[in-house]
Amino acid sequence: MDMVKEKAVVLLSGGLDSTTCMAVANDAGYELYPISFNYHQRHVIELDSAKSVAEYYRVKKHLIIETNMDMIGGSALTDSNIDVPVGDVDRNDVPPTYVPARNLIFLSYAVGYAETIDAHHVFIGVNAVDYSGYPDCRKEFIEKFQSLSDYATKMTAVDGERIVIETPLQNLSKRDIVLLGIKLKAPFHLTRSCYNGGKVACGICDSCKLRLRGFKEAGMEDPIEYAVRE
């Protein structure tokens, strides 16, 4: 008799980090329930990658939620009047590509979904080493969200069960993320990390440059195409 796998919700953007996170959850033996978001982002083409990664892992269901964060604006990723800057891999300030409260919103959806399908784990690929200055990728944010989540649902506040926010990439460099993904056979050839949203990754935005540096430092060739590969 086959054992029933424990379920895990995985936030899946279609990029390098979220796909590695998916590979980690898969390797741990969870039944994968990826959740992706069309938030009217400039790089909405990333959802095609998310769909391809979900198909690669043969998931039972890939949930895609639409939320119009472009109505709020305030980010180069959701406001066409703000240019995506040329990448700076050593940036310490918060860049224009920061989307206000994005992970707060996404994790809230993910926890609600986890309760609905009786999953006790939510995986998110936040990273505090090469995090591009995003405040909602820090360990402190995840710890605070976990504390709030413990009181946010019937499952956690009434039934006494816990939905654990899993952050397996939290303290890894991009190099380490690449090496981990390769070790776990993550389908990096299906992924996309570019902020500009063209058919081919630009190679010059923050996300592309961080990704390319990670592969270079890992001694590996990034399998996707770039318009510029510095």
Domain membership of residue 187 (yes or no) is yes
Q: Is 182 inside a domain boundary?
A: yes
Produce one character per residue of 146-185: b if its CB has 16 or more CB atoms within 10 Å, e if not: beebeebbebbeeeeeebebbbbbbebbbbbbbbbbeeee
pLDDT (tens digit, 9 = 90+) per residue, 132-186? 678 899 999 999 999 999 999 999 999 999 999 999 999 999 999 999 999 999 9
**Between 119 and 95, the higher pLDDT residue:** 119
Q: What is the CATH number of the domain that holds 122?
A: 3.40.50.620
Is the distance from CB of 71 to CB of 109 less than 8 angstroms? Answer: no
List pLDDT tens digits, range 9-45: 999 999 999 999 999 999 999 999 999 999 999 999 9
Q: In what order do the strands lie in the sheet with 7-11?
A: 63-66, 31-38, 7-11, 121-123, 164-166
Tokens representing residue 207 in the block: 């996300």
At 4 the pLDDT is: 76
**Domain hosting residue 213, numbered range:** 7-217
Q: Is residue 228 part of a domain?
A: no
Residue 80 lies in a domain: yes
Strand 7-11 with 31-38, pairing: parallel
What is the predicted pLDDT for the residue at 78? 93
Please give the pLDDT value at position 20. 98
Predicted confidence at residue 105, as pLDDT, reads 97
Task: Name the phi and psi angles at 141, rounded to 5.
Answer: -65, -45
Residue 2, pLDDT score? 57
In a domain, 1, yes or no: no
Task: Decide if 225 is inside a domain.
Answer: no
Burial of 128 (0-12, 13-18, 19+ CB in 10 A): middle
129 within some domain: yes
pLDDT at 24: 98
Q: How confident is the model at residue 130 (pLDDT cuts 50, 70, 90)?
A: low
15 occurs within a structural domain: yes
Going from the C-alpha of 146 to that of each of 33, 49, 173, the distances in angstroms are 19, 28, 23
| Per-residue confidence (pLDDT) for residue 11, from 0 to 100 | 98
CB atoms within 10 A of CB 5: 10
What is the per-residue pLDDT for 131?
55
Q: Report CA dihedral (190, 169, 31, 184) to the nearest 10 degrees.
A: 60
Helix (H, G, I), strand (E, B) or coil at 225: coil
Total number of domains constituting the chain: 1
